[in-house]
Amino acid sequence: MLIRANNSRAPRSRSSARTSLTTVLLTVLAVLLPAAAAQAAPTAGPPDESRPVYAYDHAVRETIWVDTGLDGDGDGRTDRVAADIIRPREPAEAGDKVPVIMDASPYYACCGRGNESQKKTYDAQGRPVQFPLYYDNYFVPRGYAVVLVDLAGTNRSDGCTDVGGRLDVQSAKSVVDWLNGRARGYASRTSATAVTAGWATGDVGMIGKSYDGTIANGVAATGVEGLRTIVPIGGISSWYDYYFAKGAALFGSGPDGLAALVESPQARSRCQAVQNELVRGAPRNGDWTALWTERDYVKDAGNVQASVFAVHGMQDLNVRTKHLGQWWDALAAHGVERKLWLSQTGHVDPFDFRREAWVSTLHRWFDHYLLGYDNGIEREPAADVERAPDQWTTDTAWPPAGTAGTTLRPAAGPRPGVGTLGLAPAPAGATEAFTDDPALSESDWAAHLDETTPAKTGFVTGPLARDLRLSGSSTVRLTVTPSTSSAHLSAVLVDMGPATIRDYADAAEGITTLPERTCWGSGTTGDTGCFRKTAARTAQVGHTVLSRGWADLDHWASRRHGRPVTPGRPYDITLNLAATDHVVPAGHRLALIVAGTDAGLVEPASTTPHVTVDLARSSATLPFVGGYAAFVRATRGPGGPPAGTRDLLPGLRPVVPPHLP
């Protein structure tokens, strides 16, 4: 079930929502009763659920330009952001108010939203026609307004985008403030006549995938009043961790490249100063700067008053689950109410991998937190996890109770580079080595795990006697000696055994788009609410990478500042691996691979080092459900002790950290 914050607000009273519903139902009954004998009665929905009683084609469609209070483009006047709004007409006519579902995005003009890359469209007078995605079609008839905000510098908004910084976050926060009467809105980009949101209750739920979900995280971290819940899907929690992994660069450019992609043509001409600051503030050496501090929402998790329903693909190699893991843990530390879906996909919206269940769950979530329905969703299991394509399990809490970090040790094996992974430390002086090959990836390493190959070193348990579940984040601590003045490191956890998985390496990252369409809510010619169906795209594999982490050895002492390394000198460094939830089945083996550049994911170092790993001083702390005892049971052979324990002194047990990293 959800964990309730001590200081969390109870959902807003349902009185205004129920008044609106009652008014419209009485009106509808007055019109329809004379013909009732000739019409079938509507199918009753579940109790305590909002129902589609408002006319979508009669909805109010308008654009309000909200003043952000900032002058990002330096033109001498504060910037206004465009908020395209669709809301049911009937409640306003009856004097009732409605809550808001909001998606603030930079992508409405440049790139589109959803699996079909929908963009906003407008009529000849500039009024909004198509609202991307299904939120408007499904929720407006049920008594919600939907507000789609163009972030500063994008589409029809003033100002400049600054990729997760103050300008971006304030773009969305100012709209929440306007909906609560704390900011000024206008009927046009240049109008002097203020427009208020008298039709809104002030209760807002933010939702969105990727950049949009990231902005939801950022706005929640301000603690803005009126934001009742957020639903970040594949969202970033700290922008440094999007572009770097402990100093190692992960993409070919910094935030300036993303800004150039999403900015409107007009913004590109006026926002050079902001672009220059993005370049200066995000050096490609991986050092932490003030720019990253501003874009670190994790540090401000204590401000979050909204509940959080997070969704993430465990194989998302764009916004990796490190973002989910550290955000989830920070929210937990501050008692924030939260719920989680973890899929086997990559960077994919749940509408495209579990559509019917997703829309139903989201409906109940918003009904509870925005309309105040006591539908029990906050008392249901906190986590849904996809175990195999379209096969899901639930957990009361996540990670499950009894999960504990257990320290495993790499040791030399029968052949160079093919070692063991168990509880006993390697003897002093034991080493393995590899030579970085930037052309090879984690898939190449895993495919040749049982072979001596120069570019990696691997450590593996024996076949497991029982299933072994990992749930949460891992750390790998290494002592390594480079042969050159630079080195990049990768640590990868692998389930060695056959499986059917979602094909996250495919361009669609685990789904197949079908030609048939299904409709979700009401529609018009310009906004049908109908979308192409999807199905799981699967692959048969001999191994599954379940978590990975990277680092630049220059940042061995601190991720904030790199320093040159000295060839031939040993260095201690910790790699933080992305959060996961994976069951290694009985008969499979669990492996740890240590190597250099992970091709396609990490940029190579400036040299090609030969790296020696000190096995006696290296370890991996993994979050096993059941902790140390679970690992012992899973690795215990018939009639013998668990793998890797024979060298332990009688009565000696490995060190088990008291909590997860």
Task: Name the nearest CA neighbour of 314 among 625, 579, 621.
Answer: 579
Cα–Cα–Cα angle for 266, 272, 277, nearest 5°?
A: 140
How many angstroms separate the first and last alpha carbons of the chain? 23
Q: State both tokens at 174.
A: 């100012």
Instruction: Report d(CA 336, CA 328) in Å as an integer.
Output: 9
User: Residues 323, 347, 555, 588: which is the catalytic one?
Assistant: 347
Find the helix or strand (DSSP H, E) in which 262 lies.
Answer: helix 255-262
Task: Name the nearest CA neighbour of 111 among 212, 243, 24.
Answer: 212
Tell me the backbone φ, ψ of residue 190, rounded to 5 degrees: -120, 0
Is residue 582 annotated as part of the catalytic site, yes or no?
Answer: no
DSSP three-state, residue 220 = helix
User: Residues 203, 241, 287, 316: which is the catalytic one?
Assistant: 316
Q: Is the peptide bond before 399 cis (omega within 30 degrees of 0)?
A: yes
388 secondary structure, DSSP code: E
SS3 content of the chain, % helix, strand, coil (to 5): 25, 30, 45
Is residue 73 annotated as part of the catalytic site, yes or no?
Answer: no
Residue with tokens 């990975």: 548
Instruction: Report d(CA 418, CA 430) in Å as an integer.
Output: 13
Cα torsion 7, 10, 12, 14 to 10°: value is -170
Judge contact between 517 and 359, C-beta under 8 A: no
Cα–Cα–Cα angle for 200, 69, 129, nearest 5°?
A: 50
Residue with tokens 């003043």: 67
Is residue 210 annotated as part of the catalytic site, yes or no?
Answer: yes
User: Residues 20, 50, 174, 210: which is the catalytic one?
Assistant: 210
Residues 6+ apart with CB under 8 A from 23: 90, 91, 94, 96
Judge contact between 145 and 97, C-beta under 8 A: no
Instruction: Report d(CA 361, CA 351) in Å as an integer.
Output: 11
Catalytic residues: 210, 316, 347
